[in-house]
């Protein structure tokens, strides 16, 4: 099995998984070294697509031996954080653009005993999360416009990723820096070199020819060969 820098964590997104075999798909990525499972929640308003609700998190929880992070691509996330927390999410990621009182939302996540993450869309500057950063366990820099799997990586987000890395190093070095969207073997090293520590990948893992284990191995190999 490939090795990788300890600092890099993998969060396969089940958006690209075969949901009729979800437990098997999760087991395959866990066996291949996934650190957590990424659940993409879409409401048809914040993004033009609909996906999972708390019920899928509740059903996944007992069959998933690693943490679950829930990426809430929804408007007014405050209305649903308790339901996802109760369903078994370990980390709740809300969008900076999804509500008005971000500080209150982050406090509410912490009050539920969960890790708090904030995501920013490609057009949202990193400076908009500067004041909330000391309160976060995770900052997610979207590398595609949220809403769909299988989109092309937006290289224009790399300078922002580097700025986010610098901000984190300065105010909260233990805050994780996550990327999401278009991460494949040929794009992964750009985000790792820019300072990402958590990699979300959907299509390149679950959609890989040969299956999820092959997809994970290809991503790990890409990082390894960049280091060689």
Structure tokens given for 118: 């904030």
Candidates 18, 35, 40, 78; catalytic one: 40
Q: Which residue is nearest to ligand DX5 (CB)?
A: 202
* Shortest distance, position 3 Cβ to Zn ion, whole Å: 26
Pick 72 or 169: Cβ nearer ligand DX5: 72
Phi, then psi, of 58 in degrees rounded to 5:
-60, -40
The count of residues interacting with Zn ion (CB under 5 A) is: 3
Three-state DSSP at 167 gives helix
Angle of CA points 19, 211, 32, to nearest 5°: 95
Pick 175 or 178: Cβ nearer Zn ion: 178
Select from ligand DX5, Zn ion, none the partner in contact with residue 181, using the beta carbon and a kind-dependent cut-off of 5 to 8 Å. Answer: ligand DX5
Pick 150 or 159: Cβ nearer ligand DX5: 150
* Shortest distance, position 100 Cβ to Zn ion, whole Å: 22
For tokens 């191995």, what's the residue? 217
Stretch that binds Zn ion, among 17-25, 64-72, 81-89, 101-109 (CB under 5 A): 64-72
Which distant-in-sequence residues (6+ apart) come within 8 Å of 36 by Cβ? 9, 10, 11, 66, 67, 68, 69, 90, 91
What residues line the site for ligand DX5 (CB under 6 A)?
13, 15-16, 38, 40, 71, 144, 146-151, 180-183, 200-204
Distances (CA, A) of 55 to 51, 85, 139, 180: 11, 11, 25, 23
Give the contact letters, 20-59, x = binds to Zn ion (CB under 5 A), - = no.
--------------------x-------------------
Among 52, 180, 187, 220, the residue binding Zn ion under the rule CB under 5 A is: 180
Taking a C-beta distance cutoff of 8 angstroms, is the pair 32, 212 a contact?
yes
69 near Zn ion (CB under 5 A): no
How many Cα neighbours within 13 Å face the side chain of 187?
Answer: 20
Pick 105 or 203: Cβ nearer ligand DX5: 203
Pick 12 or 185: Cβ nearer Zn ion: 12
Alpha carbons 166 and 160: distance in angstroms, whole number: 10
Which active-site residues does the annotation give? 40, 180
């Amino acid at each position: 099995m490939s090795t990788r820098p300890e600092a890099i964590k993998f969060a396969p997104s089940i958006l690209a998984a075969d949901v009729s075999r979800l437990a098997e798909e999760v087991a395959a990525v866990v066996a291949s070294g996934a650190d957590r499972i990424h659940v993409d929640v879409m409401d048809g308003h914040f993004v033009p697509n609909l996906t999972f609700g708390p019920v899928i998190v509740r059903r996944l929880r007992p069959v998933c031996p690693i943490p679950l992070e829930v990426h809430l691509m929804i408007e007014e996330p405050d209305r649903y954080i308790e339901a996802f927390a109760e369903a078994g999410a370990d980390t709740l990621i809300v969008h900076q653009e999804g509500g008005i009182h971000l500080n209150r939302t982050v406090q509410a996540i912490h009050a539920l005993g969960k890790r708090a993450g904030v995501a920013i869309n490609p057009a949202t500057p990193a400076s908009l999360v500067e004041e909330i950063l000391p309160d976060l366990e995770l900052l997610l820099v979207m590398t595609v416009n949220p809403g769909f799997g299988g989109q092309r990586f937006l290289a224009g987000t790399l300078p922002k990723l580097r700025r986010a890395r610098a901000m984190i190093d300065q105010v909260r070095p233990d805050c994780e820096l996550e990327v999401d969207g278009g991460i494949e073997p040929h794009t992964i090293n750009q985000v790792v070199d820019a300072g990402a520590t958590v990699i979300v990948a959907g299509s390149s893992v679950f959609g890989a020819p040969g299956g999820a284990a092959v997809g994970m191995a290809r991503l790990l190999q890409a990082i390894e060969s960049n280091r060689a």
